[in-house]
Amino acid sequence: MSDPKQEKATEVTEKPWTGRFSEPTDAFVEAFGASVGFDQRMYRQDIAGSVAHAKMLSSIGVLTDEERDSIIDGLAEIEAEIEGGQFQWSIALEDVHMNIEKRLTDKIGDAGKKLHTGRSRNDQVATDVRLYLRDEIDNAITPELKRLQLALIELAEREAETIMPGFTHLQTAQPITFGHHMLAWNEMLQRDSERLIDCRKRVNIMPLGSAALAGTTYPIDRGFTAKELGFDRPCSNSLDGVSDRDFAIEFLSWASLLLMHMSRFSEELILWSSSQFDWVDLGDSFCTGSSIMPQKKNPDVPELVRGKTGRVFGSLSSMLMIMKGQPLAYNKDNQEDKEPLFDTIDTVRGCLKVYADMMAQITLKPDNMREAALRGFSTATDLADYLVRNGVPFRDAHEVVGKAVALGVKTNRDLSEMDLDELKAFSDAIGDDVFEVLTLEGSVAARDHLGGTAPRQVKAAATLAKASL
Ligand code: ARG
């Protein structure tokens, strides 16, 4: 057996498909076409797929038990070589699949050459990508998403009574509780989490057995392989199996929705940590300084998450473009699926991790939030509702309060800072109990129904949200 380390990258005999070729691959084409630089990260899935395939081949009598065992042992050694950093990847062998297969053959001889029976790189790569994505969803993305949700829910529990102004049009609207605001973000993340579970159903379907495009002449047992690899089922059509990448597009759409939510949230955290708002402190370990302005503490984490959102949207566009012109079945275009997919997986993992850590440590400045809620006439709707309770039609009440607000604007006072006679001048329906509804606490406590901002409701909603994690 020759050692691949000793071979020249362009030696024609090294490749497993050179039978009909008389010229070696152009050196630039070889480098241009190689995917091993980025697909080697799927080595575990590639090996798991080969092990399952070898077991299946032996179960139908295509491989002997000895051949199967020597393949499994050889692949285990290769996995250890890769993990130990001793494996020599070769671009002449194009991709992770041929690199591993060639090394196996070098190690164990003819049994290694039999592994590819009834299989093609087309169904192999489609299987590897699905396994890789599924593993990332299960082992990294889902747990990090839950960790972030938990941080938000616990923050909501702690801050169920903390008052801040709620906005529409980024203008002060009505007082709300900070806990209620956090739970709004959790609702979005909860939907993202449900969408991911749904996306996984379509990821976890096995292309292996589709072979190059039409299936294979061997009596393969696809149910066996699917079970070995933890797939829900084999795909139903071989042409679709090798060429479909809509599972990846669906994941990228999912990631785009998630990042769109995180980007919006980032925008708020950036505003809230400015000295104009000064409502939150993101913590020194999540911020950076300026090399010129000594006073600066910049909210890099939310800014980067907002920026990385653009990159994820770009990957979704790339994948849609890669697919739109492809006739059935496999085309080399599909090799271009990996970089946007892997980059998005890494980006999503990073954003979720840093957010889960950061939100668990955020500190609030409740006095500043409260003071902000006192500006901008945030209890004006409460005054209108009070008038309605005292028999004034809502449209008239709206007009009355509008006039009171106009006086407040002119004299630079909140409604709660006016005296009773002044307020009474706007409407006979105003009595001395009016000040109860003009307080921030009274305002939020009054919105005491399912989905409302009252502290009681926020605590109940947080308990429910925690349970559904
Ligand atoms: N590296 C290839 C990819 O990522 C593997 C499949 C190659 N198939 C082929 N017929 N050339 O898609």
Q: What is the pLDDT of residue 12?
A: 41
Does residue 122's CB lie within 6 angstroms of at least one atom of ligand 1? yes
**CA 301 / ligand 1 centre spacing (Å):** 37
Is the Cβ–Cβ distance between 326 and 333 less than 8 Å?
Answer: yes
What's the start-to-end Cα distance of the chain, in Å?
54
Half-sphere exposure of 394 (CA within 13 A, CB side): 3
Does residue 121's CB lie within 6 angstroms of at least one atom of ligand 1? yes
DSSP 26: P
The answer to whether residues 222 and 348 belong to one domain is yes
Describe the chain by its helix, strand, coil percentages, rounded to 5: 65, 5, 30
Does residue 95's CB lie within 6 angstroms of at least one atom of ligand 1? yes
Half-sphere exposure of 140 (CA within 13 A, CB side): 15
Distance CA 35, CA 30 (A): 10
Active site residue 274: no
Q: What is the pLDDT of residue 285?
A: 87
Which residue lies with its CA nearest to atom 11 of ligand 1? 332
The answer to whether residues 227 and 310 belong to one domain is yes
The H or E element spanning position 163 is strand 163-168
Does residue 35's CB lie within 6 angstroms of at least one atom of ligand 1? yes
The answer to whether residues 228 and 100 belong to one domain is no
Query: Looking at the domain assignment, is residue 255 inside a domain?
Result: yes
Q: What is the pLDDT of residue 284?
A: 86
The answer to whether residues 428 and 387 belong to one domain is yes
Which residue lies with its CA nearest to atom 2 of ligand 1? 335
Q: Counting Cβ atoms within 10 Å, is residue 66 exposed (0-12), middle (13-18) or buried (19+)? A: exposed
Query: Looking at the domain assignment, is residue 13 inside a domain?
Result: no
**CA 121 / ligand 1 centre spacing (Å):** 6
Choose one of 316, 340, 370: the last residue of a domain. Answer: 370
Q: Which of 185, 171, 180 is nearest to 372 (CA)?
A: 171
β-strand pairing of 280-281 with 363-364: antiparallel
Q: Which of 122, 130, 333 to mutate to test the pocket of ligand 1 (most atoms within 8 A of CB)?
A: 122
The answer to whether residues 404 and 340 belong to one domain is no
Does residue 119's CB lie within 6 angstroms of at least one atom of ligand 1? no
Q: What is the pLDDT of residue 72?
A: 98
Tokens read off for 36 = 């091993």
Q: Which of 277, 287, 266, 257 is nearest to 188 (CA)?
A: 257
Is the Cβ–Cβ distance between 195 and 254 less than 8 Å?
Answer: yes
Is the Cβ–Cβ distance between 233 and 205 less than 8 Å?
Answer: yes
Does residue 149's CB lie within 6 angstroms of at least one atom of ligand 1? no
β-strand pairing of 233-234 with 280-281: unpaired
Q: What is the pLDDT of residue 131?
A: 98
**CA 331 / ligand 1 centre spacing (Å):** 8
Q: Which of 125, 210, 242 to mutate to test the pocket of ligand 1 (most atoms within 8 A of CB)?
A: 125
The angle subtended at Cα 380 by Cα 379 and Cα 385, nearest 5°, is 95
DSSP 295: T
Is the Cβ–Cβ distance between 59 and 86 less than 8 Å?
Answer: no
The answer to whether residues 433 and 288 belong to one domain is no
Distance CA 256, CA 344 (A): 9
Query: Looking at the domain assignment, is residue 3 inside a domain?
Result: no
Catalytic, out of 2, 290, 317, 468: 290
The answer to whether residues 54 and 106 belong to one domain is yes
The answer to whether residues 274 and 419 belong to one domain is no
Is the Cβ–Cβ distance between 271 and 277 less than 8 Å?
Answer: yes
Amino acid in position 397: A
Q: Which of 210, 332, 337 to mutate to test the pocket of ligand 1 (most atoms within 8 A of CB)?
A: 332
Query: Looking at the domain assignment, is residue 443 inside a domain?
Result: no
**CA 122 / ligand 1 centre spacing (Å):** 6
Backbone dihedral angles phi then psi of residue 299, each to the nearest 5 degrees: -80, 65
**CA 334 / ligand 1 centre spacing (Å):** 7
Query: Looking at the domain assignment, is residue 232 inside a domain?
Result: yes
**CA 332 / ligand 1 centre spacing (Å):** 6
Active site residue 97: no
List the chain pLDDT tens, one digit each, 469 residues: 344 444 444 444 478 888 888 888 899 999 999 999 999 999 999 999 999 999 999 999 999 999 999 999 999 999 999 999 999 999 999 999 999 999 999 999 999 999 999 999 999 999 999 999 999 999 999 999 999 999 999 999 999 999 999 999 999 999 999 999 999 999 999 999 999 999 999 999 999 999 999 999 999 999 999 999 999 999 999 999 999 999 999 999 999 999 999 999 999 999 999 999 999 999 888 888 888 788 878 899 999 999 999 999 999 999 999 999 999 999 999 999 999 999 999 999 999 999 999 999 999 999 999 999 998 899 999 999 999 999 999 999 999 999 999 999 999 998 989 999 999 999 999 999 999 899 999 999 999 999 999 999 999 999 999 999 9
Catalytic, out of 2, 59, 120, 169: 169
Does residue 334's CB lie within 6 angstroms of at least one atom of ligand 1? yes
Domain with residue 83: its CATH number is: 1.10.275.10
DSSP 319: H
Does residue 322's CB lie within 6 angstroms of at least one atom of ligand 1? no
Is the Cβ–Cβ distance between 380 and 406 less than 8 Å?
Answer: no
Residue 172 pairs in a beta bridge with 167
The answer to whether residues 164 and 300 belong to one domain is yes
Is the Cβ–Cβ distance between 312 and 255 less than 8 Å?
Answer: yes
Does residue 50's CB lie within 6 angstroms of at least one atom of ligand 1? no
Place of tokens 């003009």: 438
Structural domains of the chain, count: 3
Does residue 124's CB lie within 6 angstroms of at least one atom of ligand 1? no
Which residue lies with its CA nearest to atom 4 of ligand 1? 335
The answer to whether residues 301 and 229 belong to one domain is yes
Cα torsion 196, 202, 208, 212: sign? negative
Query: Looking at the domain assignment, is residue 445 inside a domain?
Result: no
**CA 219 / ligand 1 centre spacing (Å):** 24
The answer to whether residues 180 and 55 belong to one domain is no
Query: Looking at the domain assignment, is residue 375 inside a domain?
Result: no
Q: What is the pLDDT of residue 4?
A: 41
Q: Which atom of ligand 1 is nearest to the CA of 212?
A: 10
* Residue 408, domain extent: 380-438
Q: Which of 166, 53, 163 is nearest to 112 (CA)?
A: 53
Query: Looking at the domain assignment, is residue 181 inside a domain?
Result: yes
Q: What is the CA radius of gyration of the chain?
A: 31
**CA 32 / ligand 1 centre spacing (Å):** 13
Q: What is the pTM of this model?
A: 0.93
Q: Which of 463, 469, 467, 371 is nearest to 160 (CA)?
A: 463
The answer to whether residues 192 and 329 belong to one domain is yes
Alpha helices, DSSP H, located in 60-175: 65-83, 96-108, 110-114, 121-136, 142-158
